[in-house]
Amino acid sequence: MQGRRVAVTGIGVVAPCGVGVEAFWNGLLTEPAAGDRVLEDWDPSPYFENPKDARRTDRFSQFALAAAEEALAMAGDVGVDPAKFGSLVGTGIGGIGTTETQIVVQHTKGDRRVSPFLVPMMMPNAAAASISMRHGLQGLCEATVTACAAGTHAIGNAARAIADGRCDAMVAGGSEAPLTPTARAGFANMTALSNSGVSRPFSADRDGFVIAEGCGILVLEEWEHAERRGATILGEVLGSASTADAHHITAPAPGGSGAIRCMELAIDDAGITAADVRHINAHGTSTSLNDAAEADAVAKVFGENGPAMTSTKGVTGHALGGAGALEAVAVLLSMQHGLIPPTMGTSEPDPEMPAVDLVLGEPRAWEPGPTLSNSFGFGGHNGTLVLGPA
């Protein structure tokens, strides 16, 4: 990434497999139960002084505030001008829980019973705005809404704002709370969801994705500033890229052409070569077309002896706009622990797909190095991050 180097100094996560960094890492190494990945016992009250504020905040924003609190506490006193400290949180569908509830209220009880908080709760920028207001961040404050690539794009765009000098620090990530009856029915009726409730990325018997909720948040800051203040640097954003398939509203381009170009551009942006890449956290949704297109793309970019690849969606399920941020967190934790989590739910790769070095069964020890984190969304949105160890 041309310009200033970008350090990661804080990580926060809210996910069904674990709330908090330590619990999330342990969850990535544990076989999940079948079914939707939902935070059954989520309690937002610890993150709000006033219970009314929690009720006036959609679930996806609650997740973002909680994850940001952990990430900022880990980063410590960042100590930059608030006007140069921003927030950028991606989402696929924002406050859909609030939207769905209030539509029912309007139909059954009339206009006057619709909540005056509907608009600020449902708007996709609510998570980024809530973080900025709570922590006094007066710099760039935006929401990236690019379907399942939103979290990855948000982190890449935030890093670029620092590299370009527009901001000195950013809170960045993605959050999603899509498990509403209507949203779930929509995904089910387009035959995207797994009938078995098991996510099996790149497996011959994969039957669709397992829908999930969750949020991942990173604190990014200019590298030299992080060093000067004595921060613990957890990793580096080396590069990123974004492309469009321009092919179909839901299906990926045949042969993964958009994904190929996205990975190649991200590698070039990082100033490395494909041979330098040590690991790929795949998009790996467990859907027939997406997995095949990604495997094709990886084989074409890296050849026969490509890097170790995993899909953590075998555990987390697919959190849509939050997925890329959860996977960036997984990459950084895999670097810290020297282990690549296995692709849970999959015993062997689909023989009809090109051969890739898929991590299966047990975590794999590795020497951390440049890693790609891929996200490919409806609408043909492609996003790739290149992350490096501290």
Question: What SS3 state is found at 116?
Answer: coil
Distance CA 35, CA 315 (A): 11
Q: Let me know if 141 is a catalytic residue.
A: no
| Options 153, 279, 283, 381, the catalytic residue | 283
- Which residues, 6+ apart, have CB-to-CB distance to 254 below 8 Å? 247, 293
318 is catalytic: yes
* Catalytic position from the list 148, 167, 215, 262: 148
User: What is the distance between the alpha carbons of residues 62 and 53, in angstroms, rounded to a whole number?
Assistant: 10
CB atoms within 10 A of CB 9: 25
Q: State the burial class of residue 111 (Cβ atoms within 10 Å of its Cβ: 0-12, 13-18, 19+).
A: exposed
305: exposed, middle or buried (Cβ count in 10 Å: 0-12, 13-18, 19+): exposed
d(Cα 131, Cα 38) in Å, to the nearest integer? 23
Report which of 229, 232, 235, 226 is spatially closest to residue 74, judged by C-alpha positions: 232
CA distance 142 to 157: 10
Catalytic residue chosen out of the listed positions 153, 225, 279, 318: 318
247 in active site: no
Sequence letter at residue 310: T
Task: Classify each residue of 349-363 as buried b or exposed e, where b means 16 or more C-beta atoms within 10 Å of its C-beta.
Answer: bbeebbebbbbbeeb
Rg of the chain over Cα atoms, rounded to whole angstroms, equals: 19
- Cβ atoms within 10 Å of 300's Cβ, excluding its own: 17
Assess contact for 219 and 72: CB atoms under 8 A.
Answer: yes
* Number of separate helices (H) and strands (E) present in the chain: 13, 13
Q: Are 67 and 44 in contact (CB under 8 A)?
A: no
Q: Which residues are catalytic?
A: 148, 283, 318
